[in-house]
Amino acid sequence: MAKDKQKSSYSAQDIQVLEGLEPVRKRPGMYIGTTGPDGLHHLITEIFDNSRDEAMGGFANDIEIVLMPGNLVRVTDNGRGIPVDIHKQTKVSALETIMTTLHAGGKFGGDGYVVSGGLHGVGASVVNALSVMCRVVVHRDGGRYVQEYSRGKKKAAVKKTGSSKLNGTITTFEADSEIFPEIAYDFNQVVTHMRQQAYLVKGLRISVIDARAVTAKFDADEVMYFRELGLDVPSQSFYFEGGLLSLVKFTNQTQKPIHKNIFYVDKPAEGVESVEVSLQYVDDISPRILAFANNIHTPEGGTHVTGFKTTLTRTLNTYAKNNGYTKNGEDSFTGDDALEGLTAVISVKIREIQFEGQTKAKLGTVEAQSAVTTVFGEGFSAFLEENPDDAKMIVNKIILAMKARKAAKAAKDSVLRKGALEGMTLPGKLADCQSKDASESEIFIVEGDSAGGTAKQGRDRRTQAILPLRGKILNIERARLDRMLASEQIRALVIALGTAIGDTFDLSKLRYHKIIIATDADVDGAHIRTLLLTLFYRHFRPLIDGGYICIAQPPLYKIKKGKEIFYAYSDDEKDKIVGKNAEIEETMQEISNESETEEAEEKGADENETVKAKKTNKISIQRYKGLGEMNAEELWETTMDPSKRILKRVDITDAQDADKIFDILMGSDVPSRKAFIQSNATKANIDI
């Protein structure tokens, strides 16, 4: 063999066995997804989920999350308290077993929990493994017990520190900086998640407290609940008796409801502990469906959502035909018709739950579909019969959606047919790239013909396409497909992308894997960018989810310092380039140069050399108002050159919040938009 000398040995001694929680520290991404901000916040969720499962079982009704000084997080509940007696299998305390052993917990069977979000017994132990310090205080059976850990290993045995009349668990942890590059908790992100959880467990109080700014010394372990210390710190508390009905009200607070009464049902079914559904139609065209399984958000849906959608369409069709709203056969509602303008929340609680995939984003339990079909079908049919006025408004809304769908299909077919017949498969203003490989191709959507002309001159013709838009495109937030396709601007964009739109959307036909929005750095540019993002969010969501949408970051300033040219993308960057005392330095330098000039004249030196020296030290700053102010070379160098440019990829960290913001900014609720602008006015960068 040619490489015998390089051949390495491979024997039993090369097999590494990771003991205890070492696998978690070795591959944290396998357990929490990422070591970025989402993974950091997931630590809080894992500990909270244990407390929430106590509440779901009826053993707790009060949970508190505290962000504390020194990157500490404290989660308290008034549940039964983690057992502290000796575990028969591990021969140590059950508390120690749960905190230091993977796949150990009370959720695999038995009488510990009827339903829970945790399946694998890894939550608390994973948090412990990824924390430089973790301390658990248990109030149980008349005693107070404590155990502390570091990076997954116990520092001492479980110790009883006194008697207690309370019951519950207090978990305090500090994330390990060796695992997480940045430890910075977002209070609002925690609050948003906990608000949602409070809706899902009726009668549960959840408090979130931000005590990171507290400088006074205090002992948090002295009290069961941090709020008992009486410190004046930011906090939010949630408690909802209405459950999902309250969540629907909250979701629709910026919408105009079509009907007055909100539908709500909560019943058990065969194989499922609880099926809870609430819905209301609003004067909008976009559906909003939130689905949960054992209180875990399932953004990809699953069997419970399939059962809901099928039953919704069938029930509405049956009611419409039985009450003379539609004729048999020719006017049946489709699933899309029934979903238009719908706000719905579906929550199922299942003893033996199954998810598809590691992330629990999609429910796979087969029994959930038939359970939702039965409970929701019976409940919604009764609701329509018992509330004829509400039913009339709902059915008329669906009939309007059906007519709009047929009109939109005709308009879409007409557009596509017309484009094919006239040979205009691509819009005339599109300067396409030469490459047909979508993976290396990108399209710049630019504002106006002026910027479009400059971009066409400065681009790399092989991989970069340019599509100029004339003015502001149609606000599609409340526009149906037929009206959208009547807009020349939107039609050109749809044809250029190649994916089609609506029910014929096909991501595999996308012609560019980078879609770059390049607008001016002013109010009009921001408005156009928002209109485009609204279009992509509502009708091309897979493009955002796939990371195809980007926003160009052209420079704000061109700075000349003598012969050197710099570009600044922010005021801070400009100040760093110019220097804090730039004007003083310039003035002093010019005075110095003038003295040198006088001295040089006296000595008969060359005057041209001193004038040249003066000019060298002057700083000129050009403020770019729009892309059209740049020449082709500047635009390429600063905004289009892949090796130098700055692009911001558009993603959606919280789809529900994004949906709400688009509703407020682009919808018809003027008071909500006014309140939003007034609340956020101080955050705006105003160019006068």
Catalytically active residues are: 447, 520, 522, 524
The C-alpha atoms of residue 255 and residue 279 are separated, in whole angstroms, by 13
- Rounded to 5 degrees, φ, ψ at 232 are -85, 90
**Per-residue DSSP letters for 215-282?**
-S---GGGSSSGGGG-----EEEE--SSTHHHHHHHHTTTS-BSSSSPEEEEEEETTEEEEEEEEEEB
Q: Residue 67: name the closest of 220, 290, 270 by CA.
A: 220
**329 conformational bin, left if phi > 0, alpha if psi -120 to 50, beta if neither:** left
* CA separation for the pair 96, 283 (Å, rounded): 54
**Virtual CA dihedral for 674, 676, 678, 684, nearest 10 degrees?**
-120
Alpha carbon distance 313, 339 (integer Å): 8
Element housing 273 (H / E): strand 272-281
For residues 263 and 276, give the distance between their C-alpha atoms in angstroms, rounded to a whole number: 11
For 564-594, the DSSP string reads: EEEEESSHHHHHHHH-TTHHHHHHHHHHHHH
CA–CA distance, 537 with 533 (Å, rounded to integer)? 6
Backbone angles phi, psi at 159, to 5 degrees: -125, 135
Q: How far does CA 688 lie from the centroid of its chain?
A: 33
Tokens of 489: 């601007």
Cβ(625)–Cβ(538) under 8 Å? no
d(CA 115, CA 351): 5
621, 586 in Cβ contact below 8 A? no
Pairing of strands 442-447, 464-469: parallel
Residue 10: how many CB atoms within 10 A of its CB? 8
Residue 361 one-letter amino acid: A
CB 368 within 8 A of CB 304: yes
Nearest-CA neighbor of 368 among 394, 389, 350, 344? 350
Instruction: Please give the Cα distance from 191 to 207 (Å, whole number).
Output: 9
DSSP state of 440: G
Residue written as token pair 């709203």: 325
Cβ atoms of 148 and 30 closer than 8 Å: no
Tokens of 92: 């140590």
Give CA 324 to chain center in angstroms. 43
Closest CA to 173 of 130, 213, 140: 130
Rounded distance, CA 49 to CA 208, Å?
A: 14
Q: Which residue has the tokens 């400009």?
A: 574
Residue 637 DSSP label: I
